[in-house]
Each structure stands twice: as C-alpha cells, then as structure tokens.
Amino acid sequence: MTAGTTPYRSGLRAGRDGFPQLLRAEWTKFRTVRGWVVGTWVAALVMVLVGLVAASGFHAFCGGDCSVPAGPDGEAVTDMFYFGHQPLEGDGSMTVRVTSLTGLITYPPDHPNDIVPSVMPWAKAGVIIKESTRQGSAYAAVMVTGSHGVRMQDNYIHDTAGSAGGVSAASPRWLRLTRSGDSLTGYESADGTHWTRIGTAYLAGLPATVQVGLFVTSPFYMVVSPGIAGGTSSRLTQATAVFDQVSLEGDGTGGAWTRDNIGIGPGGPALAQGGFEESGGRFTVSGTGDIAPRVDGGRRIEDTLHGTFVGLIVMIVIGSMFITAEYRRGMIRTTLAASPGRGRMLAAKAIVIGSVTFVAGLAAAAVVLPIGEWILRANGNYIFPVPPLTELRVVAGTAALLAVVAVLALAIGTMLRRSAEAVTTLIVMIVVPYVLAIASPLPDAASEWLLRLTPAAGFAIQQSLPRYPQVNSALLTPLHRFYPLEPWAGFAVLCAYTALALGLATFLLRRRDA
Amino acid sequence: MRQAVHAEWTKLRTEPGTAWLVLAFIALTVALSATAAAAVTCPSTGCGLDPGRLSLTGLDLGQAVVVILAVLAMSGEFSTGMIRTTLAAMPRRITVLAAKSAVLTVVLLAAGSIAVLASVLIGQVILPAHGFTAANGFAPFSLADGPVLRAAAGSVLYLTLIGLLSLGVASAVRDSAVAIGVLLGLLYVFPVMAQVVTDPDWREHLQQIGPMTAGLAIQATTNLNSLPISPWAGLGVLATWAAAALMVGGLLLRLRDA
C-alpha cells in the first residue's frame, strides 16, 4: 500500500486568462488570417481609389471664377440684394411700413414659356444695417418674407421668427431696426404704435459708421429633375416691395439714397437689375438674390469620401467572417474552451475588429481627403470652407462609421453564425437603403425616412455643411447628400442598432451551444 | 449532361434555403415596386420619371437576393465540402458549371417572371391614378405597350444574367461572404458613383460600363434618346460581364483543386 499519490502537475506555469490575454488572442487570430489583413488593406485602398476617381469626375460649374464671398465666421454665403442705403454714424434707428411684397418667377416648370407673377417663399424685403456694401460683411435685418412671416436675421446663419402671415395694403407690417453699440434690435408692429421686439443681434466689432437702408431680394427657383440621370437648374426670380412711412434717426442720415445692386454686376437679364424708386415718400424696391448661407455652387469636403460605402462592404464581409469563420471551422469550440467567458470573448473580438477598422478607415480618410480636395481645386471647383473641428469630425466620423459597422457585422455574424446570411442581412440593412436613398427614383420623403430609420443614417456623420432651416433650397435632399438627421443623431441611430445587436448576440452566444 | 442537370436540380430543390430565398426575392421585389409606385405622384408639369423604371424599382433590392441565391448554389458546396462529392460523381467540371447555370437560369426565369409580372400589374393599377396618364403625356402603362413589354421581359433577363454573373464570381471566389461582398459592391458602386459625379462624360461612361446601370437601361420606356446606353445594348453589357465571370469561374474551377 502506498501513501497518497501526488497528482501530476505540469512544470509549465499556468497561463493568465485576463482580458488583455483575450485581446491578444483575438488580435493574433486577426493578423494571422491573410485574407482579413489583405481585405482591410483593400477596403482602405478602394476608399482612396473610388474617392479620387469621384473627385476627378467633378467639373467646375462656375466657369473658372469660383470665388464665393465668406461670411463673418468664414462660411460660404450668398450675399446678393438690391440695397438703397445711407450712412449711419453711431447709434440710430430706422422705421418703415411695408405695404406690399410681390414677385415674378421666370419660366417655372409648370409654365415653361412664361414669366409668372408669384412670390418666392423666402423672398425678403425690409430694413438692414450692414457693416459695408462688401459681400459677406456683417449685418442684421428685419424683414417680411414671401411665406415665412416676419423674420429677424443676422450674419447669414442666424434666424428668428416674428409673427406669421404675409403683407398687403389692408394689413401692412411696420418694421424697426435700432442700433445701440454692437447690439441691433428688431421690432415689428401691425399699426405703428404697439411694437413687439423680435430679437437682438450682437455684431462684435461693428464699425462706428455703417450702412442702413431698404433691401429686397428673391432667391433662385431651383428645379431638380429626379432620377439617376437627374440634374438641377435654376430660374431667375424677382421680388418687389413697397415701403412708406420711412423714418431714419441718427447721425449721418438724411442725405440722398445710394443705390447698389449688391453682388450683381451690370449686364445680364433686365429682371436681375432690380430698381429703387421714390415718389412722395413711397419707395418701390425690386431685387434678386439672397442673403443666406450658401449650399450650392461648390463641392463639399465629403465629396472626396464617396468610396466609404465600398470600404463598408469589404469591412462588413471581414467583420462577419471574424466570427462565422470560427463557426465554420469548429474553431469556436477551441476558443470557448480556452476562454469560457463568452461575453468577454465577444467584447474582445468587437474591440479588435473595431480598432483595426477605425485605424484603416482613419488612414484612408486622412489620405483621400487632402488629395481629393487638391484634385477638386485643380479642376476649378470651389470647396466650401468648414471649421477645422468639422473637418476632424468628418474624417474621424468616417473611420468611426466603418468601425461601428464592422462591430455590427460581428454581432450579426454571431447571431446568424453563417457568413452568407450575415453579409446579406447587413447589406440589406445598410448598403441597399443608402443606394435607394441617394440613387433611385424614390421620392425625397421616402429617401429621408430610409436615412432616419435604417443604420444607413450613420452616413450623416459625413455631412460637413449644416442644414439651415431658413435656406429654401430644393438641394437639401438625400439626392445631394443632405441627410434628414443631424450628423451625431444619425450616427447615434447606427450605434443604437449596433448596441442592440451586440446585446442580442451576447444573449444568444451564452444561451446556445457552440 | 441530362444527368448533371437533373442532379443540380435535385440539389437546388432540396436545399432548405432555396424556397425561402425565392419567396423573399419575389416578396421584396413586388413590395418595393409597389411602394415606389404608390409614393410618387407625377404632376401635370412632368416629373422626369420613367413609369417603366418606377414600377420595377423593386429589382434594385430583389437582385441582392438573386445574388445570394446564385452564390450559395456554388459556394455552399465549397463550404461544406460537398463539391468534392459532386466532382467525384461528375469529373467534367465545365459540365457541372453548365448544369448549374442551366438550372439557375430556369429557376430565375420563372421567379423573375412572377416578380416582374406582379410589379408591372401593380404599376398598371397604381400609376394612372398617380398622374401617369395620357393627359400628362404618358402612353397607357400596360404590357400590351411595346416598350413596357420590352422593359418587363428585359427585366426578367436582367435578373437571370445577374444570377449567372454571381455564379461565375462564386466559382472564382468560392467563399460565399466574399463573393456576395464583391458582387454587391460591383453592382451598387456604379449607380452611386454616377449619381455623385457631376461631369456629364464621366457620368455617362460610368453608367455605360456598370453591370447594374447599363443592364437596367432595359427598363426605360420613355425618353429613350436621353439614356446613356440603349436598352438592348445595356443588357448586352451585363451579358458580357456575366459571360466573362462564367469564363473566369469555369477556368479557375478547372485549374484549381477543389
């Protein structure tokens, strides 16, 4: 009889099974499968190539002279209007009564051979105080509009609504704009005695002498032909407003009116020349153009990132295979034997595939954006300037979009276990809605819902120009890559889908036998 | 060859996914076509839309299911190892590919006819109520109309050719996920690029060479002169893509070990 035997113990030290080891194991798996590494390179290269090809395909449509005025914050603006003005030194105020706002639209699609009397919804007429007659200089204005009521706007991007309703001789509108230092306050009234404040604008650094006066402007009528072969064209419009009871207070005023057709040179169609006539205290002013942030007539930085969705398809394939390959080979049983914590295993996989994709996407976006911009400029395109933070958001957001989609692919792959089904599900969830929204005959409303409800909403992170509600442009549609959701809101929709899928995948992974 | 076709037919028929994929294809195609037709109203001023293209919008989505069906018919055998049994039974590899193509063609012609016919019939009911009327300058939308018949028949051929293209790519790539990724990328990249590019020449060339953009020219029923490529020539471009893919796929199938 022997005393108790000692059980065999391996001389090797036990391995540690912490989370870093798990990460390292998954990273080793990723980098040793040649197809996945090559595929990630392909995703990045395809993004760059498609982006550069697309950038080369943009031809300038401003005929060489692509200068666009920049507003006080550096953004691209449209600054065209008829301006009858006087200098104002120091503080002062101007009050007018608007009794009529009418308009003309040339050759709209429903009357292709006529000039139709109709006023544009965002035709504007009112009182403006402007730093100078230079395009893009600071201003504040109170105005009546075609169909958006009374507004106070300043420095192109700020807009405050006053009372609703149009103007007529029976129901005129009184407008008043006062300057006191750097602050300009707009008032409106229905009768000239009871005044309501609309808002106050603070224009820092406004010089002592500014120009104050009457302005009228009317934006182009944009015609967008739908469909894949669709294009856009614009029609000239004109607005005419009648003002009376004009009173000006302040130093420097009281002289003759100076007339300027801001932003529109002599020559060209007679309708665009505008006019300013005074008779017996009644002023009739006509003008064409807009005072607003600009959204058309140039390219945007994200026009260099059109390869993103091709890179996305590649990363969808790799992301889902990162787990389905293990199921196909039975490797998943080895993996789970080595690290029984199934949730932790999925988390490690998600971190590895997410990080790898983010780095590849960041590199691709950081390369293609500057080169693409250079090509666009070399082709004579104007590129809308954006703040550096926006540019950073577009580049990092593109990388994050790819990374989150790769993680979503991993989660769907975990649920479905088979790569063909997983890839198909993801393509139907993300790529098909995107293609249908931006390149199909679906109407804009349907396209916008696709880009709100499906994970394709995440593409909004690439939009560099804000969607200003006060810009009336038929161009603010998915067809022109203006997304219905704000950039971060759209990205949040994608993240919500991913979080949901990851939760469901963890649940199923724990519950089912491998 | 008859035995080979019979064997492939049995395989496709008894694969549990096939029936579901065919049903999904028909349902998705018809549903999207009907939605698109119902969502659009053409005012008397014209809307620049083609009723043929509109009533067959569902193919944009349905073709993705056709891609999967065709890819799985080939790569499914590679993933399970069944391909070795198949090739042991039928050592002539080109015959196997030809038999698979024949069976797939018949299935897609049948399923495609149902989906396209249903889409067109729904369009026939919906479109006149949405402004696509003679008063607005549209010919009555019905299968009796020459261009509509061509659009419908051509769409069925389009789907079949997409299936053959997918079969060729799957024979070359073998892995189902990679093949589906390659195919859907190839199909969708051209319309998106053509949409974003502003240079008219670039746009036209992209639409002429893309398998989806050129192939879908067959759906046009109005403004045939403004198409980047004429309907039948467009379908010819897609047929060239499919033939090239089948040739490369067949060659690789012959050259490589299974």
What is the per-residue DSSP string for A439-471? SSS--HHHHHHHHHHSGGGGGGGG--S---TT-
Torsion (CA) B66, B67, B72, B74 in degrees, nearest 10: 110
Q: What are phi and psi of A436, to 5 degrees?
A: -65, -35
**Each residue's pLDDT expressed in tens, for chain A with a length of 514 residues:** 556 677 787 776 766 678 898 999 999 999 999 999 999 999 999 999 989 988 887 776 555 556 788 888 888 888 999 999 999 999 999 999 999 999 988 887 777 788 888 888 899 999 999 999 999 999 999 999 988 999 999 999 899 999 888 888 888 999 999 999 999 999 999 988 999 999 999 998 899 999 999 999 998 888 776 544 456 677 889 999 999 999 999 888 888 899 999 888 777 777 888 889 988 889 999 999 899 988 877 888 988 998 898 899 999 999 999 999 999 888 899 888 888 889 999 999 999 999 999 999 999 999 999 999 999 888 888 888 888 999 999 999 999 999 999 999 999 999 999 888 899 889 889 988 898 888 776 777 888 899 999 999 999 999 998 888 888 667 788 877 889 999 999 999 999 999 999 999 999 999 988 7
Q: Does B205 touch chain A (CB under 8 A)?
A: no
Q: What is the reported pLDDT for A62?
A: 57
Nearest CA in chain A to B192: A439
Residue (of A142, A450, A344) closest to B60 by Cα position: A450
Q: Confirm if A391 and A373 have CB atoms less than 8 A apart.
A: no
Residue A421 and residue B16 in contact, taking contact as beta carbons nearer than 8 Å: no
Q: Rounded CA gap, B59 and B159, in Å?
A: 8
CA distance B68 to chain A (A): 7
> Is A443 in contact with B40 (Cβ distance < 8 A)?
yes
Supply the pLDDT for residue B54. Answer: 84
Query: Under an 8 A CB cutoff, do A227 and B61 touch?
Result: no
Asked whether the ipTM of the predicted complex exceeds the cut of 0.90, the reply is: no
What is the per-residue pLDDT for B10?
Answer: 86
Q: Return the pLDDT at B46.
A: 63
Considering only CB atoms, which chain A residues are within 8 Å of B170?
none
CA distance A439 to chain B (A): 6
Measured between beta carbons, the chain B residues lying within 8 angstroms of A429 are none
Please count the other Cβ atoms lying within 10 Å of the Cβ belonging to residue B114: 15
Instruction: Look up residue A296 and give its two tokens.
Output: 């058309």
Q: In chain A, which residues have their Cβ closer than 8 Å to the Cβ of B35?
A: 446
Most distant CA pair in chain A, distance: 131
Any B CB within 8 A of A441 CB? yes
For A252, how many CA atoms within 13 A lie in the half-sphere containing its CB?
16
Lowest mean pLDDT among A365-374, B129-138, B161-170: B129-138
Of A129, A127, A125, the residue nearest A89 (C-alpha): A129
Q: List chain B residues with CB under 8 Å of A419.
A: 175-177
Phi, psi dihedral angles at A117 (to 5 degrees): -75, 110
- A412 in helix, strand or coil? helix
Residue B201: how many other CB atoms lie within 10 Å: 10
Among chain A residues, the shortest Cα distance to B80 is held by A328
Scanning B59-218, the segments in alpha helix (DSSP H) are 59-80, 82-89, 93-126, 146-173, 176-196, 200-209, 211-215
Q: How far is B4 from chain A (nearest CA, A)?
A: 26
Q: Report the distance separating Cα B236 and Cα B233, nearest Å.
A: 5
Token match 């007429």: residue?
Answer: A125
Strand pairing class (A196-202; A183-189)? antiparallel
Of B49, B184, B197, the CB nearest to A427: B184
Q: What is the pLDDT of residues B191-238, one digit of tens each?
A: 888 877 777 788 888 889 999 989 988 888 877 777 888 889 999 999
Tell me: pLDDT of B115 over 70: yes
pLDDT for the residue B195:
77
Q: How many CB pairs under 8 A join A and B?
A: 140
φ/ψ of A135, rounded to 5, equals: -65, 135
Q: Under an 8 A CB cutoff, do B46 and A443 touch?
A: no
A438 contacts in chain B (CB < 8 Å): 192, 195-196
pLDDT digits (tens, 9 = 90+) for B32-43: 898 888 877 776
pLDDT higher than 80, residue B137: no
Contact A56 B75 (CB under 8 A): no
Among B residues 217-256, those touching chain A with beta carbons less than 8 Å apart: 226-228
Check pLDDT > 70 for residue B157: yes
